[in-house]
Amino acid sequence: MFERLMNIFKGSANKAVSKLETPEILAEQASMQLEGNLKSLTEAVTAALTNQKQIEQQLQKNQEELATWEKRAAVAVQNNNDEIARQCLERKVTHNQNIQSLNTQLAEQKKTLAALKQQYAEMEEQLRLFNIKKQGIIARAKAAENQVKANSIASGADSNSMDKWEEKIRAKEMQGQAVSELSGAKVDDDFKAMDKNAALDDELAALKAKVAAPDAASAISPAVPKLIVAGDGHDENLPMVVDVEVSEPGENK
């Protein structure tokens, strides 16, 4: 049993056992099992020792009874009472037979007790050695597990975590770029709106200038009188009518 448990622990240490079967848990289970076996042996040794003491007490009692009936038989012989002497001797024979049987039982019980004590001593030593080696086994298992983790990290087996970090960083960078681009687009739109408004203002000013030009020309250009002469169907005796025409700039009348 002990060797099998030790092999289980060694195998667990080499394979870096799962979380549900850690070296600590296995060690405690094995220790509890060994302690349970030792407790069972303790109870067996106690029972065997108790039985041996009972046999010894019965043996001692039969030996005392044998001596008593032997003395009584002698007294009966001294009193010339052969019948009583014979009865006493019969009781003596019975106790003698009991003594022989009890001696046989006692010898067997002593062998059983000795074997149980030997098993108890061996189990107790196994438990002691196991408790000494248990800490070393647990330390080896942890070292093996840490080595596996270290090798896994070194070989890139845990690169998924790094990839997730880089992905988050790239997402933040892209978000920043998007905000910058949106800010730049808004500025461009503002400038475009300003350019459009400036062009509209220029066009409006030109239109106002064009509309205002005839009025200015009218205000600056002198009136050109028009003489109505005879032959135009007018009465010569009427006063001469003068019509003022306003000419466009650059137009000859």
AA letter at 180 = S
pLDDT in tens, 131-188: 888 777 777 777 777 777 777 666 654 555 566 767 777 777 777 676 666 555 555 6
Average pLDDT of the segment spanning 240-251: 49
pLDDT for 17 beyond 50 = no
Q: Examine the pLDDT at 45 and tell me if it is beyond 50.
A: yes
Angle subtended at Cα 66 by Cα 64 and Cα 67, rounded to the nearest 5 degrees: 65
Whether the pLDDT of residue 201 is over 90: the answer is no
Tokens of 89: 């001797």
The residue among 70 and 9 whose pLDDT is bigger is 70
CB-based contacts of 33: which residues, under 8 Å, 6+ apart?
Answer: 1, 5
Q: Which residue has the tokens 């149980």?
A: 116
Chain mean pLDDT for the chain: 75
Q: Give the whole-number percent of the chain exceeding pLDDT 70.
A: 62
When pLDDT is cut at 50, 70 and 90, the band that residue 253 belongs to is very low
What is residue 34's predicted lDDT score, i.e. its pLDDT? Answer: 86
Half-sphere exposure for 123 (CA within 13 Å, toward CB):
21
Say if residues 23 and 11 touch (Cβ distance below 8 Å): no
Share of the chain above pLDDT 90, in %: 32
Residue pair 114/45 in contact (Cβ under 8 Å)? The answer is no
The confidence score (pLDDT) of residue 172 equals 73
Provide the token pair at 166: 């880089």
Q: pLDDT value at position 139?
A: 78
pLDDT at 153: 66
User: What per-residue confidence (pLDDT) applies to 227?
Assistant: 47
Higher pLDDT, 96 or 140: 96
Ranking 1-10, 68-77, 176-185 by mean pLDDT, the lowest is 1-10
Which two three-digit tokens encode residue 143?
């070292």
At 209-239, the pLDDT tens digits run: 777 776 655 555 554 454 445 555 555 554 5
CA atoms of 10 and 133, how far apart (whole Å): 11
CA distance 194 to 149: 63
Asked if 30 and 4 count as a contact pair (C-beta separation under 8 A), the reply is no
Strand partners, 36: none
Q: Where are the domains of the chain?
A: 2-157
What integer is the mean pLDDT of 26-30? 80
Q: Which of the residue ranges 110-114, 150-154, 212-216, 248-252 would you say has the lowest mean pLDDT?
A: 248-252
Ordered alpha helix ranges (H), the chain: 2-15, 23-78, 82-154, 159-220
CB atoms within 10 A of CB 228: 14
In terms of pLDDT, which residue wins out, 194 or 64? 64
